[in-house]
Amino acid sequence: MSVMPITRRAFFRGRPTSSREYGPAISLLLVTPLLLLLLGGFLYPIGGLFWGSIFAPEATPKHYLRILQEPLYLLILWRTFEIAFLVTVVALLLGYPVALAMARVSGRAAMLIAACVLIPLWTSVLVRSYAWIVLLQRNGVINNTLQETGLTQAPLQMLYTQGAVVAAMTQVLLPFMVLPIYSVLRTVPDDLPKAARNLGAGSLLAFLHVTLPLSLPGVTAGVLITFILSLGFYITPALVGGPGTLMMSTLIGQQTTELLNWPFAGALSAVLLLATLLLVVVFRRALALNGGFKLG
């Protein structure tokens, strides 16, 4: 008895149609709402802001020259990238062990760790920023505790400092570092580190040569997400930082809401966006060359 070969079309006959079998017209129709939302909610306002910084009435490229010529704006730009870098490094150092614990434990312990990571995402950033003010102010919880225990004689200046901004932003953005790393670590088989230890490697060497390299895609995603979000953070630096730690987002907000200088705000936004894109491209390129893999 002969058996007819099962073709791909015959195998999938009667089954739900795959998205790959949709024609170009139907595929374009399906993504049209998302494209319209992207155009109306992102590209149009951003493009209008950039256009107004150069071609609007009474607007010339002098705004970009002003950014390059006045040291204050270059200092704020540098401080923005410095704080974003520090927040990313601290979030990585704190978030990786948490993600590793989430991926290795099970049961109630895993649920407890996941709750500690996810519950802050359900709390307003404004509320969490005010909580840091309560903790760090001169008569706050930390200063009162230090004075009552005799460790300090007078209140310490902790609020409106760069350290306060880094700590508050790290606490807010920590879940964005933990979740991508956890999503990759949970796919790493437990047999691989065990095999490394059976071959004579210690726990540290097994982690450095097996677990850490396999988790690099999650680390890269978490680093990029945290760094990019840090560059545009507005509420927390404005409340916890003060004038001494002014960042680009706060400066742009002042130019639009207080000074009504929209062309200059557009120039600041364009410089920040271009600098961010340049760093992301360099970061991806460096990973592709040194890490042996590419994102996406």
The number of angstroms, rounded, from the C-alpha of 29 to the middle of its chain's C-alpha atoms is 31
Buried b (16+ CB within 10 A) or exposed e, 105-130: eeeeeeeebeeebeeeeeeebeebbe
Residues in the chain predicted with pLDDT less than 50, given as ranges, are 1-12, 14-15, 17-19, 292-296
**110: phi then psi, degrees, rounded to nearest 5:** -65, -40
Asked if residues 146 and 181 have their Cβ atoms less than 8 Å apart, the reply is no
- 266 with 53: CB under 8 angstroms? yes
Q: From CA 273, how far away is CA 279, in angstroms rounded? A: 10
Q: H helices within the chain, ranges in order?
A: 8-11, 24-38, 44-52, 62-69, 71-104, 108-118, 125-136, 141-148, 162-185, 191-198, 203-206, 212-214, 216-231, 235-236, 248-257, 262-290
Alpha carbon distance 263, 258 (integer Å) = 14
Into which CATH architecture does domain 62-290 fall? Orthogonal Bundle (1.10)
Least Cα distance to 87 among 175, 166, 178 occurs for: 166
Ramachandran region, residue 75 (left: φ > 0; alpha: ψ -120 to 50; beta: rest) = alpha
Distance, CA of 200 to CA of 206 (rounded, Å): 9
The rounded distance, in Å, linking the Cα atoms of 248 and 76 is 6
pLDDT at site 294: 44
Tokens of 121: 């995402």
- How confident is the model over 127-161, as pLDDT tens digits? 888 889 888 888 888 888 888 888 888 888 888 88
Write out the two tokens for 38: 């992207």
Cβ contact 192:238 at 8 Å: no
pLDDT given at position 1:
43
pLDDT for res 182: 92
Domains of the chain, residue spans:
62-290
